[in-house]
């Protein structure tokens, strides 16, 4: 990755971490789930307003590192208006990107490709995926909080799943 591209990616991530989009509670949410990354201390709650199978509105609240906050912000923008199946497919593409199984050239990722550099820092992969796992829990109606440690170390560090 060129230095100019790396700088641009860092700018986008910093912008979303300093000014996160869709950062608010949603009192009338149809679903919500909580996520926690004990390694970094990230805590996030994802709220969903569903219209049948469509994610009509998505928001989040919480506190986390720049990667986690930016990932949550960009995730909410990316999945709003999508069906559950489309959101699941985007999660799979995103997960492949940051674990090194995919590349930033996937056109379906759009702006999410800025996270391609995260794979160079395996400890940050859990930070980037926390909001996505929390979204999946909300879609599934899971009541128990999601923890990045409940999946085992191989699940998020690019190892076998």
Q: How confident is the model over 32-44, as pLDDT tens digits?
A: 999 999 988 999 9
pLDDT given for residue 5 in this prediction: 58
Task: Tell which residue, 116, 130, 140, 153, has the closest CA to residue 48.
Answer: 140
pLDDT given for residue 121 in this prediction: 87
Q: How confident is the model over 51-84, as pLDDT tens digits?
A: 999 999 999 999 999 999 999 999 999 999 999 9
- 50 token code pair: 């569903």
Strands 42-51 and 146-147, sheet pairing:
unpaired
pLDDT given for residue 10 in this prediction: 84
pLDDT given for residue 93 in this prediction: 94
Q: Rounded to an integer, what distance in angstroms lies between the CA atom of residue 75 and that of residue 125?
A: 15
- 66 token code pair: 């720049």
The sign one gets for the Cα dihedral 138, 87, 111, 3 is positive
pLDDT of 101 higher than 90: no
Task: Tell which residue, 77, 59, 70, 75, has the closest CA to residue 17.
Answer: 70
pLDDT of 6 higher than 70: no
pLDDT of 159 higher than 80: no
pLDDT given for residue 143 in this prediction: 80
Does domain 3-156 bear CATH number 1.10.10.10?
no
pTM of the model: 0.87
Q: How confident is the model over 115-157, as pLDDT tens digits?
A: 988 888 888 999 999 999 999 999 999 888 999 886 433 333 3
pLDDT of 29 higher than 50: yes
Q: Where are the beta strands (DSSP E) in the chain?
A: 31-37, 42-51, 54-63, 146-147
pLDDT given for residue 42 in this prediction: 95
């Amino acid at each position: 990755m060129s230095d100019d591209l790396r700088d641009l990616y860092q700018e986008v991530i910093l912008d979303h971490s300093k000014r996160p989009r869709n950062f608010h509670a949603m009192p009338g949410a149809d679903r919500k789930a909580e996520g926690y990354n004990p390694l970094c201390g990230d805590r996030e709650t994802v709220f969903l307003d569903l219209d049948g199978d469509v994610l009509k509105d998505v928001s989040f609240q919480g506190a986390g590192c720049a990667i986690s906050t930016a990932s949550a912000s960009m995730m909410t923008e990316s999945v709003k208006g999508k069906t559950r199946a489309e959101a699941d497919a985007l999660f799979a593409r995103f997960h492949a990107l940051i674990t090194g199984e995919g590349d930033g050239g996937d056109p379906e990722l759009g702006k999410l490709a800025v996270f391609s550099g995260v794979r160079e820092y395996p400890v940050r992969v859990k930070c980037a995926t926390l909001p996505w796992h929390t979204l999946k829990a909300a879609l599934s109606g899971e009541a128990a909080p999601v923890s990045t440690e409940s999946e085992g170390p191989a699940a998020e560090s690019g190892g076998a799943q």
